[in-house]
Amino acid sequence: MKKLKILSLTALTVSVLVGCFPKASEVIRALPVESKEQILAQYNSEQIAEGKVLFTNNCGKCHDLKQPETRNPEQWNRIVKRMIPKAKLNDRDGQLVRAYLIVNAKEN
Q: State the DSSP string of 29-60.
A: HTPPP--HHHHHTT--HHHHHHHHHHHHHHSS
Choosing from 62, 64, 107, 108, the residue that interacts with ligand HEC (CB under 6 A) is 62
**13 vs 90, beta carbon nearer ligand HEC:** 90
Q: Which stretch binds ligand HEC (CB under 6 A): 2-10, 11-19, 45-53, 78-86?
A: 78-86
User: Cβ-count burial of 33 within 10 angstroms (0-12 exposed, 13-18 middle, 19+ buried)?
Assistant: exposed
CA distance 54 to 81: 16
84 contacts ligand HEC (rule: CB under 6 A): yes
- Which range of residues in 1-9, 15-23, 27-35, 63-71 is near ligand HEC by CB under 6 A? 63-71
**How far is C-alpha 26 from the geometric centre of its chain's CA atoms?**
9
Task: Please say which residue, 13 or 60, places its beta carbon nearer to ligand HEC.
Answer: 60
Task: Using the minimum distance from each CB to ligand HEC, give the nearer residue, 1 or 62.
Answer: 62
56 near 104, Cβ under 8 Å?
Answer: no
Residues near ligand HEC, by CB under 6 A = 58-59, 61-63, 66, 71, 79, 82-84, 86-87, 97
